[in-house]
């Protein structure tokens, strides 16, 4: 412990927390709306058990790690638990994880960060300390915040983490002048998009994309295997006038579809509701969909991460709103020409007003390049 009360972590501590962060990825596609947390239990430098968050209502990471230890015939008494988020202290759909750690005889808990959720917010740490357990907080906190960015966005900002997914040509075009866009990128990039959908809680598009492409916006396969898990991202269609047809494929696809309207005729809304959609009116002062209100409404539904797959007009509206956290850009080595549609519709009067996200990652995916760009830290 340093003079200012900060814990001092060893190289071994870092190694085990890194493993817990890796384990957390196992729950990424199933734990929503709960955060995907990882936990490893260690004693004498040896792994006792590990686990990640399960589906909402099922066991949390700490309980899964303890169960794993029992299945291996190991005792966790006197062990250290490394967990990527403070153990919960309240009864929700499951009992408190702090209680499980106490009952297992854990001697030390290392948490990457405090859980900002109002029902936890340090109470889990206090419960453990009151039971005589040593608790050290703050190891690899930046990495944990990155892992938990969707959940943290919903809790701390009352809106989901928002990304734009864009597939474009080398000259920055997303479709021909007639709207044809399938397929600009190759099969490897499209498979990568399926992984992106699988981690998303909601997929957002516009009525123009529905009318042109009639997309499903579902997860169909991940890593070459059919997606059999019942969880599908919520499909959200921005449709100010309720123009999408009741025969749209997504309305009969697995999962739910939410249509966001502004000043839409009631009769049109009823037709969509009869076809299986939920319709929600969120108009702004100009009679368009209110984008900040939409994100607030999604947060109230437990949406941690939302991905936009749309055309240039809606991409431009989201960028202009200042609400975009991240862009995932797949760029194909093809040229579509001047008449093709650009990736986002917006105009600037000054170069100083340009959008300038930070480049976080660049990698090749099949024949295409994938850029990860961030506006938000």
Active site residues: 62
Tokens of 323: 């609400």
Residue 179, token pair as written in the block: 């709207």
Report whether 81 contacts 108 (CB < 8 A): yes
Candidates 52, 35, 294; CA nearest to 149 is: 35
Retrieve residue 201's tokens: 């809680």
Residue 229: closest CA among 15, 14, 27: 27
Question: Which of 178, 147, 174 lies closest to 305 in space, CA to CA?
Answer: 147
Rounded (10°) CA dihedral 63, 67, 68, 74: 120
What is the spatial distance between Cα 248 and Cα 261, in angstroms, rounded to a whole number? 16
- Gap between the Cα atoms of 252 and 274, Å rounded: 12
Tokens of 321: 């709103």
Largest CA-CA distance found in the chain, in angstroms, rounded: 69
């Amino acid at each position: 412990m340093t003079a200012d009360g900060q814990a001092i972590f060893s190289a071994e501590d870092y190694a085990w927390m890194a493993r817990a962060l890796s384990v957390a990825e196992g729950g990424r596609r199933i734990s929503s709306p709960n955060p995907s947390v990882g936990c490893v239990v260690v004693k004498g430098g040896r792994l006792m058990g590990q686990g990640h968050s399960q589906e909402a209502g099922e066991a949390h990471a700490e309980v899964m790690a303890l169960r794993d230890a029992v299945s291996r015939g190991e005792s966790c008494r006197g062990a250290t638990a490394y967990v990527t988020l403070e153990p919960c202290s309240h009864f929700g759909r499951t009992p408190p994880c702090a209680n499980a750690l106490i009952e297992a005889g854990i001697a030390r808990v290392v948490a990457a960060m405090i859980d900002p959720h109002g029902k936890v917010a340090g109470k889990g740490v206090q419960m453990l300390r009151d039971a005589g357990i040593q608790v050290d907080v703050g190891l690899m906190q930046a990495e944990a915040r990155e892992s938990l960015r969707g959940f943290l966005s919903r809790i701390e900002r009352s809106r989901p983490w928002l990304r734009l997914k864009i597939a474009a040509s080398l000259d920055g075009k997303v479709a021909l002048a007639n709207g044809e866009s399938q397929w600009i990128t190759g099969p490897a990039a499209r498979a990568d998009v399926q992984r992106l959908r699988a981690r998303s809680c909601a997929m957002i598009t516009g009525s123009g994309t529905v009318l042109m492409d009639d997309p499903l916006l579902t997860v169909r396969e991940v890593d070459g295997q059919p997606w059999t898990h019942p969880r599908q991202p919520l499909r959200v269609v921005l449709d100010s006038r309720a123009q999408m047809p009741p025969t749209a494929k997504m309305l009969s696809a697995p999962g739910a579809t939410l249509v966001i309207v502004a000043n839409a005729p009631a009769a049109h809304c009823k037709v969509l509701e009869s076809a299986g959609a939920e319709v929600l009116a969120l108009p702004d002062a100009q009679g368009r969909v209110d984008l900040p209100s939409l994100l607030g409404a999604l947060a109230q539904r437990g949406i941690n991460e939302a991905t936009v797959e749309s055309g240039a007009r809606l991409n431009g509206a989201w960028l202009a709103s200042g609400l975009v956290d991240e862009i995932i850009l797949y760029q194909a080595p093809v040229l579509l020409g001047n008449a093709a549609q650009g990736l986002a519709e917006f105009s600037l009067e000054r170069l100083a007003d340009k959008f300038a996200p930070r480049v976080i990652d660049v990698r090749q995916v099949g024949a295409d390049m994938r850029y990860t760009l961030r506006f938000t830290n």
